[in-house]
Structure 1
Amino acid sequence: MTLQNTDRVQTTHVGSLPRTPRLLEANRQHAQSAITFEQLTDELAAGVEDVVRRQRETGVDVVNDGEYGHTMSSAVDYGAWWNYSFSRLGGLTPTDEDRWASTERRRSSPGHVVLTSFPDRRDRERFREAYEDPTSGILTGRSSTTQPKITGPLTYTGQEAVASDVRNLKAAMAATGAETGFVAALSPGSCARVTNEYYRTDEELVYACADAMREEYLAITAAGLIVQIDDPSIAESWDQVNPEPTVEDYLAFTRLRVEALNHALRGIPEEQVRFHLCWGSWHGPHTTDLELKHLVDLMLTINAGGYTFEGASARHAHEWKVWKEHPLPEGRVIIPGVVSHSTNVVEHPELVADRIEQFAAVVGRENVVASTDCGLGGRLHPQIAWAKLESLTAGARLASERLFG
């Protein structure tokens, strides 16, 4: 298995794709115990085959299951990539806390980083009037979801669920002729962002998350698929620390999470791992995002064959230049976003091609796989999401003509 291009620019996406009304209804019924897990699994299998077929028809090379096994609370859902793990881990106790709405405020001290709830983010403080205006379009339409707390030793209990994810994707790939597929899984650092009432230290907590989630990574890669490690926490957590820490303190906080991730990935071939970094999927100003130049070297220590990151958003599109000063290790690829989840405007294929060529000029044409900034499902209307994937593949064809002849 190789992630590198040979005769053209390959295409993929970050993972989440729009759920159908039928699947959303099945998720709702299962959550209310109106249908069994087996009935939900039947619905998932049919849905995954349809979404893989549509990816192939759109021209996507490296496909996935649309994250259909990661239940969305509604058609608008910014947190399914994280919330899905709550049903796959033991040691958790449900709460009525919604961290996106919580008013809890916690403060960091020099050398000690503490994460806050969403309303206490510095971006939200700076633009509080806009965030609290229901007509602004920020967080509009999301359903309230609660997060549990850790009250006992973390264990992985999602064997049946991840087996379903793997089985459905492999069957859909066989039915559609897709050769390469990936399944997204939560990182230890993101897993550790729930309230902890059991582990004595941050290090114990993060490594417990790593040991638990490793079972999911192994289940995916043992099936011959690529595991995508979803880890917005590497970049996004910066905005959750108040007061603003030094970059050095934040990187020390983050380095522990990277070391724990590498511990969880031990023995897994790098070509079967891709790492996803982003600054959060909500449609806010993002003026307090930490710049990629501060994170890239640490990201490159992660034992992965490819790195996906935002390369098209209005806040980060200029950062392709970072790769001029931070060489990509040999044999690895970058998987930059060349269309964005954060705008309803569908990027022109020529712009997509230009972005691909910018990256290729720096790291080499063989080392750029064209992708999305983040998941499109739950963040954009389905019609717009699929139009963006069509523009992505059309732009990749243009770039391929210019780069490969």
Structure 2
Amino acid sequence: MFKASADVMLPTSIIGSLPRPSWYTASLGSTPFLEAMVNSRYREQYEDAVSCFLRAQEVAGLDIVTDGDAHYDEQVGGMSWQSYPLTHMSGFSQTASPAIYNVGAVAYPRGHILHDFLEARVFPRIVGPVGRGNLQYKAMWKVAQRMTAKPVKVGTILPELLAASCEDDYYKDPIERTWALSDAVNEELNDLADAGCPVLQMEEPQIHMVPVRGKAFGKLDVGDLVKVFNNTVKGLRSKTEVWCHTCWGNPSQQRIFKEPQSYQPTLEALNQVEADALTFETCSSGPGDLKAIGEIIKDKKIVIGVIDHHTLQIERPDEVAALIREALKHIPAERLIISSDCGMGREGMGRRHAAYKMVSMVLGTNIVRAELGLPQAECLAADERYSLTVAKS
């Protein structure tokens, strides 16, 4: 069900996370969100951070906004993306221990920045049947949505990555564990959709990773992973807009593959997921897959990344516009959404760089909107009336 992107041509958004303000020192840890919000210091810092994230997106002129993933704690490599569910769902131990990453990842040696990322994988173990526990996504969405009139998108990591992240003393095998996590996440997301959240984003199904990493757990092929995805979003599309986010990884804003990868081997499988929109990393990995994406994905909206989340270099508006024009050769404007490749809050980027990347995204999109005779988004950040530099007479 198209809700957030229904009435806007070439709508703009970001994938989710934004860099934490330096003054945001409060941590959630394993405390339930609603319990943490009873603490006046945490509540003030959390709400102020969400407000800053929303305002930065509004000043840039984005159409669909996020809360910047403000509930994530400040962890090495942005590990809170994975640790938050593992420390707030039921069925997990109260204490954490080092965990092996079971997705065929490279064993980065000591001396590589991503070795720290591997050492930061200290998670609780599964000790009983998993359940939604205290994820409390609905409460987080409400905090953000009551601060803005723009639709707020909420994202969550998907079950197969959670299943690959933790040690397990309860389930017989990782497949059983994955399906149990899928059922629990589905229950939480349906509650969130019932509350009125206009966009839910499913982050990183491992479908596109199979050609380069092999089957998940050596067992789940692309078809199996499509089934897991569809179970996780069961019942959602009649209530809200569902996005399926894919990229090639960015812990600590680093690339995890030596060479850019291609989506083409798994586009047919991605076309089978129960989602309204599919996201593709097309800035940092290049536009080479756009033709194939346009030929295969016909009944979903396509979200293209025009901002590279790995670098501090700000993309120029004309570069953004050129990438959108290239996409429009293969994807009709009414099915195209403009975004970042991935999140910009995975430890390596500052707030000012992220803010100007969003501004450049909107300015570049406005160039193409003008060429197509479409309304342009207001971008206060680029309004010359508010420049502090005195213009020459």
If the TM-score is normalised by the length of the shorter chain, which range does it land in? 0.7 to 0.9
Q: Secondary structure at the match of 2:257?
A: coil
Residues 307 and 357, structure 2, Cα contact 8 Å, conserved in 1: yes
Q: Distance in 2 between matches of 1:53 and 1:300?
A: 34
Using the TM superposition, give the Cα deviation of residue 138 of structure 1 relative to its aligned residue in structure 2, in angstroms: 5.8
1:88-127 paired onto structure 2 within 5 Å: 88-93=88-93, 94-97=95-98, 99=100, 115-116=103-104, 118-120=105-107, 124=108
What is the distance in 2 between the residues matched to 1:7 and 1:203?
40
- Do structure 1's residue 201 and structure 2's residue 151 form an aligned pair? no
2: distance between equivalents of 1:97 and 1:2? 41
CA contact 2:317–2:361 (8 Å) conserved in 1: yes
The one-letter amino acid paired with 1:153 is P
Tell me: CA distance 1:201–1:36, structure 2 relative to 1, closer, same or farther (3 Å). closer
Letter in 1 for 2:82: W
Residues 203 and 246, structure 2, Cα contact 8 Å, conserved in 1: yes
Q: With structure 1 as the length reference, what TM-score do the two structures score?
A: 0.80
1:390 aligns with: 359
1:302 aligns with 2:273: yes
Counterpart residue type for residue 253 of structure 1: D
- 2:80 alignment counterpart: 80
1:173-252 → structure 2 map (5 Å cutoff): 173=148, 177-178=149-150, 180-193=151-164, 194-225=166-197, 226-231=199-204, 233-236=206-209, 239-241=212-214, 252=220
Aligned length: 361
- Relative to structure 1, the CA distance from residue 295 to residue 181 in structure 2 (aligned partners, 3 Å threshold; closer, same or farther) is same
How many Å apart are 1:385 and its aligned residue? 1.3
Q: How far apart in 1 are the matches of 2:67 and 2:259?
A: 33
Deviation at 1:36, TM superposition (A): 4.8
Q: Does 1:169 align with 2:144?
A: yes
Give the unaligned 5+ runs of structure 2.
Answer: 375-393
What is the distance in 2 between the residues matched to 1:251 and 1:383? Answer: 43
Question: Given the superposition, is the C-alpha separation of residues 261 and 284 from structure 1 closer, same or farther in structure 2, using an over 3 Å criterion?
Answer: closer
Q: Does 1:336 align with 2:304?
A: yes
Partner of 1:346: 314
What are the equivalent positions in structure 2 for 1:246-395 lying under 5 Å apart? 252-269=220-237, 271-282=240-251, 283-284=254-255, 286-287=257-258, 290-313=261-284, 315-329=285-299, 332-378=300-346, 379-395=348-364
Give the deviation of 1:390 after TM superposition: 0.9
Identical-residue share of aligned pairs (%): 21
TM-score by length of structure 2 reads 0.82
Check conservation: 1:276, 1:307, Cα contact below 8 A.
yes
Kindly state the Cα deviation for residue 230 of structure 1 after the two structures are TM-superposed: 1.0
CA distance in 1, matches of 2:355, 2:372: 25
C-alpha deviations, 1:280-339, integer Å up to 9, x for none?
1131362366520012221121111111121101x343222222431321xx21111111
Q: 1:171 to 1:374 in 2, by over 3 A?
A: same
Q: Distance in 1 between matches of 2:321 and 2:302?
A: 15
Q: Deviations over 1:111-141 (max 9, x none)?
A: xxx634x443xxx5xxx6xxx546xx66789
Gaps of 5+ in 1: 101-113
Alignment correspondent of 1:111: none
The residue aligned with 1:106 is none
Question: Greater helix percent: which structure?
Answer: 1
Contact 1:339 1:388 in 2 (8 A): yes
Question: For residues 8 and 28 of structure 2, what CA distance do their matches in structure 1 show?
Answer: 44
The alpha-carbon deviation at position 210 of structure 1 amounts to 0.8
| Partner Cα distance (1:169, 1:202) in 2 | 35
Flag the 1:92–1:367 CA change in 2: closer, same or farther, 3 A.
same
Given that 2:210 and 2:221 are in contact with CA atoms closer than 8 Å, whether structure 1 keeps it comes out as no
Contact 2:91 2:130 in 1 (8 A): yes
CA distance, structure 2, for counterparts of residue 208 and residue 72 of structure 1: 28
Change (3 A) 1:95 1:85: same
SS of residue paired to 1:192: helix
Cα distance change of structure 1 residues 48 and 62 upon mapping to structure 2, 3 Å threshold: same
Q: SS where residue 86 of structure 1 aligns?
A: helix
2:10–2:333 contact (8 Å) kept in structure 1 = yes
Shift in CA distance, 50/343, structure 1 to aligned 2, threshold 3 Å: closer
